Structures are given as structure tokens and as C-alpha cells.
Amino acid sequence: MGNSSSMLTQYDIEEVQQHCNNAFSQQEIVSLYERFCQLDRSGGGFVSAEEFLSVPEFAVNPLSQRLLRMVDGLNFKEFVAFLSAFSPRATLQQKIEFIFKVYDSDGNGKVTFNDMLDVLRDLTGQFISEKQRTQVLTQVLEEAGYTKESLLVLSDFVKILGSSGLKMEVEVPVD
């Protein structure tokens, strides 16, 4: 898959579509490929963290530094898989798995109280104190049946977020 939309074959489109569990239509995949090529300024077939930061919405996201660890060096297929969690066609399970990866920054399959506190700190900045963050997080965990000492795994996130009506969607403009 080269660096121009004319190099994206029907086979490539179908392969990417299958890889992302049909989260995007073929037309959306073509649009995503065009956007990927715009981001891939070096033309190397991968998008770097710096290239991702050229997207204003990404750069101002309070979680951008966490997300950069997930996106640095993605090829097109991985780029679409990353974005598939934001598709309206993505399942709740796919969305929760994505959120879990954001919290599990070291990739060990477990999320600690401090991991959650770090994300909350990223999201709230200076708007609330560290004491308030700790209190809020402790209360949320207790209401869900966990403690500060709990190590949460993916199934815990599914249990906690599974009935939340979680909305994470991005519209892919198509020509």
C-alpha cells in the first residue's frame, strides 16, 4: 500500500475492512487512506507521533500523550484498526478494549489505581486538586465493587462500562 490513493487496490480495501471487523465501509477506507497519506509526510508507509500531532483535534486532546504511545509508527492497516474503535459500527467490546489500552499504559494487562489517577489527572489538569481526584476515583471504584488496591483487568472494564451507554464516535468524511 503505497503513498497514493491510486495504489490502494480492491484487495487492499477488503483486507483492511476485514482487519478492522467491518467497522468502516469501503468508501470510508479509501477516505482514511487519503488522510493517512496526507499524514505520512515522509512517504515511508508509517505515521509517526509527530505526524499525528499535526492533526489539531489530536494535538489538543488531553490524552494525546497516552494516545501517541499507541499510534507512533502505525502502518495503514494498523491506523484503520486504531480508528475502528471510534466507528459507529464498532461493538461496545471493541470500544472498551480501546479504553482499557489507554489506561494500561505499560501494556501489562492490569490497570492500577495510579494508572486511573494518571488518566484522571490528564483529563482534569489543574481544574481539581489531587485530593479531589483521589476521592472521586476512590468513590467510583467503591461503587463498582473495587478498592484502591484492586488490579483491574479487561473483564473488569467490561463489567464497569458494559452498561454505560458508552459513546465514542468519529465521522469519516467521504467524497
Q: What is the pLDDT of residues 87-138, one digit of tens each?
A: 989 888 888 999 999 999 888 999 999 999 999 999 998 889 999 999 999 9
Q: Among 84, 116, 145, give the residue marking a domain's end.
A: 84
76 and 120 assigned to the same domain: no
Instruction: With respect to residue 166, please indicate whether it lies within any of the assigned structural domains.
Output: no
Q: What is the pLDDT of residues 8-65, one digit of tens each?
A: 899 999 999 999 999 999 999 999 999 999 999 989 999 998 898 888 888 888 988 8
Q: What is the pLDDT of residues 140-175, one digit of tens each?
A: 899 889 999 999 999 998 888 876 666 676 677 766
Which residues, at least 6 apart from 51, have a Cβ–Cβ distance to it below 8 Å?
39, 40, 41, 42
Which residue type does 164 have? S
pTM tops 0.75: yes
67 and 102 assigned to the same domain: no
Q: How many domains does the chain have?
A: 2
In order of 10, 39, 62, 63, the CA distances from 119 in angstroms are 40, 27, 9, 7
Residue 71: pLDDT band with limits 50, 70, 90: confident
Residue 155's domain spans which residues?
92-161
72 and 45 assigned to the same domain: yes
- Structural contact between residues 77 and 47, judged by C-beta atoms closer than 8 angstroms: no
